[in-house]
Amino acid sequence: MTATGTAVAEIEVACDPATAFTVFTADIGTWWKRGTHYWNDPERGRSMRFEPQVGGRFIEVYDDGEGYELGRVQVWEPGERLVFGWRTADWAPGVSTSVEVRFTPVAGGTRVTIEHSGWEQFGAGGAGSAEGYGKGWAELLGWYAEQAR
């Protein structure tokens, strides 16, 4: 976590940035484990999905075909960068944070870095939320890395 309360997590995967981006976005429904506390409705949640374009939805898909929109894609640059809004069902209406995912080539693969910002709007509790989300993103990136192999 940075001094500004931004949640940060990163991992290196042994594939090129274009593949790393595809695994993160197109395969998110495979690596984002079902039934975990990373779901708004873990009982009904079946998959996660990005609509692959700026303005596309990031959706938690439910068993009945409906879903919860976590946010909208703000930047879609395959192999380089993804930015999307983030909110949970228990937040006040209109409250949203921002998640930026960067795909940087490194020797032997790609460094995937997540920076989740916007926690200052939560006041004094924002720094603690950022810290918790940083740990959560680190766990999720571990699952992602398993899929990226």
Query: How many domains does the chain fold into?
Result: 1
Look at residue 2 and tell me if it is in a domain.
no
Q: What is the structure's pLDDT at 38?
A: 94
Closest alpha carbon to 101 in 16, 15, 8: 8
Q: What is the structure's pLDDT at 2?
A: 47
- Residue-wise pLDDT tens digits, 13-42: 999 999 999 999 999 999 999 989 999 999
Look at residue 1 and tell me if it is in a domain.
no
Look at residue 73 and tell me if it is in a domain.
yes
Domain at 31, CATH number: 3.30.530.20
Strand runs labelled E in the chain: 7-13, 45-50, 57-62, 67-77, 81-86, 97-106, 109-117
Look at residue 77 and tell me if it is in a domain.
yes
Q: Domain residues for 18?
A: 7-148
- Residue-wise pLDDT tens digits, 44-98: 999 999 999 999 999 999 988 789 999 999 999 999 999 999 999 999 888 999 9
**Predicted TM-score of the model (pTM):** 0.94
